[in-house]
Chains A and B, each alone.
Chain A
Amino acid sequence: MLRVLNPNAEVLNKSAALHMNINAAKGLQDVLKTNLGPKGTIKMLVGGAGDIKLTKDGNTLLKEMQIQNPTAIMIARTAVAQDDISGDGTTSTVIFIGELMKQSERYIDEGMHPRVLVDGFEIAKRATLQFLEKFKTPVVMGDEPDKEILKMVARTTLRTKLYEALADQLTDIVTNAVLCIRKPEEAIDLFMVEIMHMRHKFDVDTRLVEGLVLDHGSRHPDMKRRAENCHILTCNVSLEYDKSEINAGFFYSNAEQREAMIAAERRQVDERVQKIIDLKNKVCSGKDNNFVVINQKGIDPPSLDLLARAGIIALRRAKRRNMERLILACGGEAVNSVDDLTPDCLGWAGLVYEHVLGEEKYTFVENVRNPHSCTILIKGPNDHTIAQIKDAVRDGLRAVKNTIEDESVVLGAGAFEVAARQHLINEVKKTVEGRAQLGVVAFADALLVVPKTLAENSGLDKQDVIIALTGEHDRGNVVGLSQHTGEPIDPQMEGIFDNYSVKRQILNSGPVIASQLLLVDEVIRAGRNMRKPT
């Protein structure tokens, strides 16, 4: 009896676990699929205390959702990794995994072993990646990248997150921002684009500042709030009197010694300040120039006083990262000591001014020469709007950077998915022996989830759309779907382009996770200590 019962129990467990995985994947797909594309739904999440989050992208939504099902957590992690690596395509990843599971379910219910499907996935994945190499559109990125193509990629992605007018405005901003920080022969460091935000009624006042915006101001009432023709000293030097040295001995020394020590310590700080003032006098004397100190360390009131009296504007406790950005924006070098100050250390900005908004202060360092760092200043009426625009700006910046680094793009609006699917069915399938063929077919059909969902979100009939697209494709045309009519369109003409590296990443990670979830043995073992699925 036992010998008969046990294997049965095993099978039962296995299939139950498998279906649990399939359901979880489908469930997550359901949650995210309405997000996809320019006609997707934006989600407003209201927390238990009334906090609002707005999100149109898969990544943010997954982070804000409290997922408890272990399978769903696994899929979500893959999608978040997708975002870390390539900056986009999280929604597509989740719905692709869901669809791979859904397509597999049909075959498994007919008694097919998951292993066979997984073998088919592997073949299909390799073939699709090869096909992507042929399908992609190369873009030459010489010294002067093709700005039009960069803008088209940025616009495609931004229009999936923001209404058109705002998306189009940001398209120019993110493209120019990346071109500003780009240096020939060097990897693009997006951190050199500062993203700053400000409460303001109108989101269309968002703009690119060629230069830097700091989120603090000077701390002395007599310092100028606006200055032109400014020398900029970027430094990381403590201009604070430090008492700890004195305390070290104070239980043993008498009051006079203590006073003397305090005075000596103060003198040291004053000397440091004086060196800065000397440099200022050297470069500014007889000219109509100004002098601004931006310090990563603190500056105490007596030091501020001395600086103010010398006509210097001084900011303290600047962000660490701004030290680097300031140099790239204004020139000069960041100094860690004031001992060997020379005019060569100084950068330059045509205009420095302060903007006050309630208790918040901003300092603009603008009109710089030949900047390699810049600031995107986002404006929005409230925190959740600002946060959502910020997410979109990040996506846009990544899209431009990817395009430059990939030196290629991929036609969007479902064009690649339709073409790859037809390639698998018409060409690859027949080269595969045995039942693994069915795995290839499942994979191919799963690819169609992208155009199908785009159609669905546009309120169109997905079957009609797929028939129209595949028909047009088989007549030899590259086609995507029109978000308005569902008719086949040429994405190239419409300027709808996706990132090559994003597509490749989706194709790589989707099948890996789906395979893991299908080979359920491993999941049972891995899932043993996990909480009950909900």
Chain B
Amino acid sequence: MTEIVTIQVGGFANFVGSHFWNIQDELLGLAADPYADPVFRNQNLNMDVLYRTGETPQGIVSYTPRLVSVDLQGSLGSMSSRGTLYNETSPGPSYVTTWAGNISTHASGPHRKNLFLESLYEEERESLTVMNGINGRENNSRREIHDEDKVESLENGVQFWTDFSKVHYHPQSLYELSGLWTDVQEFDNYGIGKDAFSGGRGEEMSERLRFFAEECDYMQGFQFFVDDSGGFSAVAADFLESIADEYTKTPVLLYAVRGPVSHTNLRSQKQTVFRDIHDAVSFSRLSSFCKLIVPVGLPLLSRSKAATFLSVKDEEPYHCSAVYAASLHAITLPFRLEHLGPTADSCNISGSMDVSGVVQMLTGQARQNMVSILDVAMPAPPLTGKQVEQTLLRNLQPLTPDITEDVEDLQAVESISVQGSFGSPGHRASVSEVNDMVEAAYENATSRPKFCHLSVSQCPLPIPLPFPSIFGSHVGQHGELLDSPIISSRSRGSLDVHSIPMAARLRSSSAVLPFLENRLVKLRRYGIERGASGAQLLSSWGFGQDELQDMGESLSKMVSALDPHSHTSSDSD
């Protein structure tokens, strides 16, 4: 089993995706760079899992993400929906062959490229000129753009996810929901999105997905990022339903990601109720069409324990999405570690497992719990020093909202990925060291999961240039944790920190109960109970009583599986 097809639906999901693919692109670049740190040159990561090889109309070989991204019209900023690689040699824009009569041209003001994109574009043009053997004299007149200025331009003004993307996308990848514009509608609840999939749009999305799926010889699964804070939740639910229909046996791993902004801005009681109803419905629908769902996104990421070593601006999607993307990158590690034969030298990596393996492990077992928690240690602590056993587990902090902090759950199941962690200062820990350490950590821990899978790679997370300045003063150039802080007037970004060790974990645990109970209670209160105040709203969203009852039942099943004595799960009658 090899290929994964990635799907990104909705504003914030595409921000996360953009960082995710920047990281992959950085890894690809480093692997081919003779001057790069050797750990990046022998990653033992199989990039074909996420990428496809193709050919442009000019006959040039292309390597692009196996991706379908869905967003509102106008959300692509200065990037063409056809991507950047397969550009047609168009015979000039005012050339119309199909009409003999009058032509009028209406151009909307071109989106200005920011300094970062401008320099990307220049670089590309330059390499083309070199390829064509032309020694451009105008090069001299070219403005030199300093890295500091690029980073700053991003720090000050990212509006679209394309503003910080350095990846070439396939022309089938970027789909804008036709007729739904970024800044006209407020696309902010399930009801608004409920018809967006119908009327040709859904068919277009499915066709694009089929384009990527048809090429796969052994697809291991879909990885689906959805921004479920608004109308995209409905779009994604309909899309997932059609996927479940068409690709019956292929597992879908769903990450429901939210930016902090989507948690705030509730001015009135009514809006709060509205939001609660949305959250309950959104989760019910999405969870019914996938194998594993991972809610990601804290209301106040900046003040969370997960951001202990970071300085994140909550109001910047560019910032928050980077943290989530880095964590999700770590989580995908087991899916693309190369399978090594027993004789092969396996000192760089261990713990490869495919999507269905991870899904089965986390959701199978006795409890069949399909909701997992995402924890991260960013950066991961070194595996030396005093009480080192505890630090790793202690530093792994949740990015999933609404969960219990300290919970003893003997039935818990976990999948941990550790990337590029340090042993003694300046030395990457070997795979066996990491294995031993983690084992020891659990030995000493007060509560232990029933089962834990560990994937290790010596390759750390590379920090691409278009990455937000979110590192705190204790994070060194290689992501090592410093004893004394670096005094600097500005926050630390990609020019100061080049890579960091990462640890991330998917955890199937009863700690997720509050998240589930919350949704169940709200669904009952506003939708199911006699005279429920949200019944009318829900019926305008297309939900009848029967369907709401079913949703309530499946939520209550999820709750009681984790807590057989739960009050919430049993008071349905």
List the interface of chain A (C-beta within 8 A of B). Answer: 34, 38-52, 54, 56, 63, 66-68, 84, 161-164, 166, 199, 203, 216, 219, 238, 240, 242-244, 247-248, 250-251, 296, 298, 300-301, 316-317, 319-320, 358-359, 380-383, 385, 388-389
* Whole-angstrom CA separation of A166 from B99 in the bound complex: 9
Chain B CB within 10 Å, residue with most, of A39, A42, A203, A216: A42
* Whole-angstrom CA separation of A219 from B216 in the bound complex: 10
Q: Which of B57, B76, B248, B360 contacts A49 (CB 8 A)?
A: B76
The residue of chain B having its C-beta at the shortest distance from the C-beta of A382 within the complex is B88
- Return chain B residues, CB-CB under 8 Å to A296: 246
Q: Which of A44, A47, A219, A242 contacts B105 (CB 8 A)?
A: A44
- Return chain B residues, CB-CB under 8 Å to A41: 101-104
Chain A CB within 10 Å, residue with most, of B91, B99, B357: B99
Contacts A44-B104, A383-B88 given; indicate if A49 touches B77 (C-beta within 8 A).
Answer: yes
195-230 of chain B: CB within 8 A of chain A: 199, 207, 210, 213-214, 216-219
Whether B354 pairs with A243 at a CB distance below 8 angstroms is yes
Whether A40 pairs with B360 at a CB distance below 8 angstroms is no
* Whole-angstrom CA separation of A67 from B179 in the bound complex: 10
> Of the 9-residue stretches B20-28, B106-114, B383-391, which lies at the interface with chain A?
B106-114
Whether A319 pairs with B207 at a CB distance below 8 angstroms is yes
Whether A49 pairs with B80 at a CB distance below 8 angstroms is yes
Contacts A243-B354, A247-B360, A359-B54 given; indicate if A68 touches B184 (C-beta within 8 A).
Answer: yes
* Whole-angstrom CA separation of A203 from B199 in the bound complex: 28
* Whole-angstrom CA separation of A50 from B105 in the bound complex: 12
Cβ-based interface call for B572 (8 A) = no
- Return chain A residues, CB-CB under 8 Å to B210: 317, 319
Whether A56 pairs with B106 at a CB distance below 8 angstroms is no
Majority DSSP secondary structure for residues of A touching B? loop
* Whole-angstrom CA separation of A56 from B104 in the bound complex: 10
The residue of chain A having its C-beta at the shortest distance from the C-beta of B365 within the complex is A251
* Whole-angstrom CA separation of A385 from B103 in the bound complex: 14
- Contact code string B42-83 (vs A, CB < 8 Å = 1, else 0): 000000000000111101000000000000011011111110
* Whole-angstrom CA separation of A380 from B110 in the bound complex: 26
- Return chain A residues, CB-CB under 8 Å to B213: 298, 317
The residue of chain B having its C-beta at the shortest distance from the C-beta of A299 within the complex is B217
Q: Which of A45, A164, A247, A298 contacts B356 (CB 8 A)?
A: A247
Contacts A244-B251, A247-B356 given; indicate if A44 touches B101 (C-beta within 8 A).
Answer: no
- Return chain A residues, CB-CB under 8 Å to B248: 238
Whether B97 pairs with A44 at a CB distance below 8 angstroms is no
Cβ-based interface call for B98 (8 A) = yes
Whether A162 pairs with B99 at a CB distance below 8 angstroms is yes
* Whole-angstrom CA separation of A44 from B96 in the bound complex: 9
Whether B1 pairs with A243 at a CB distance below 8 angstroms is yes
Whether A316 pairs with B214 at a CB distance below 8 angstroms is yes
Whether A46 pairs with B107 at a CB distance below 8 angstroms is yes
235-271 of chain B: CB within 8 A of chain A: 246, 248-249, 251
Interface size for B (C-beta < 8 A) is 60
Distance in Å: Cβ of A358 to nearest Cβ of chain B: 5
- Shortest beta-carbon contacts, A-B, top 3: A46-B107, A317-B214, A41-B102
Contacts A42-B103, A389-B98 given; indicate if A251 touches B251 (C-beta within 8 A).
Answer: no
* Whole-angstrom CA separation of A84 from B198 in the bound complex: 13
- Return chain B residues, CB-CB under 8 Å to A46: 93, 105-108
Cβ-based interface call for B121 (8 A) = no
Whether B88 pairs with A358 at a CB distance below 8 angstroms is no
Contacts A243-B1, A243-B356, A317-B214 given; indicate if A385 touches B97 (C-beta within 8 A).
Answer: yes
- Return chain A residues, CB-CB under 8 Å to B249: 238, 240, 242, 244
Distance in Å: Cβ of B220 to nearest Cβ of chain A: 8
Distance in Å: Cβ of A491 to nearest Cβ of chain B: 20
Whether A383 pairs with B82 at a CB distance below 8 angstroms is yes
Q: List 17 A-B contacts (CB under 8 A).
A: A41-B101, A43-B105, A43-B106, A44-B106, A48-B110, A49-B110, A66-B74, A203-B98, A244-B251, A247-B360, A247-B364, A298-B219, A317-B210, A319-B210, A320-B246, A381-B91, A388-B98
The residue of chain B having its C-beta at the shortest distance from the C-beta of A38 within the complex is B101
Contacts A244-B360, A248-B360 given; indicate if A48 touches B98 (C-beta within 8 A).
Answer: no
Whether A66 pairs with B57 at a CB distance below 8 angstroms is no
- Return chain B residues, CB-CB under 8 Å to A380: 97-98
Contacts A162-B98, A244-B360 given; indicate if A45 touches B106 (C-beta within 8 A).
Answer: yes
Whether B104 pairs with A43 at a CB distance below 8 angstroms is yes
Cβ-based interface call for B178 (8 A) = yes
- Return chain B residues, CB-CB under 8 Å to A385: 96-98
Cβ-based interface call for B127 (8 A) = no
- Return chain A residues, CB-CB under 8 Å to B110: 48-50
The residue of chain A having its C-beta at the shortest distance from the C-beta of B182 within the complex is A66
- Return chain B residues, CB-CB under 8 Å to A56: 99
* Whole-angstrom CA separation of A166 from B98 in the bound complex: 8
Distance in Å: Cβ of B352 to nearest Cβ of chain A: 14
Contacts A41-B103, A243-B356 given; indicate if A248 touches B218 (C-beta within 8 A).
Answer: no
* Whole-angstrom CA separation of A166 from B110 in the bound complex: 33
Contacts A63-B178, A251-B451, A317-B213 given; indicate if A42 touches B74 (C-beta within 8 A).
Answer: no
- Return chain B residues, CB-CB under 8 Å to A48: 74, 77-78, 108-111
Cβ-based interface call for B94 (8 A) = yes
Whether A42 pairs with B99 at a CB distance below 8 angstroms is yes
* Whole-angstrom CA separation of A298 from B220 in the bound complex: 13
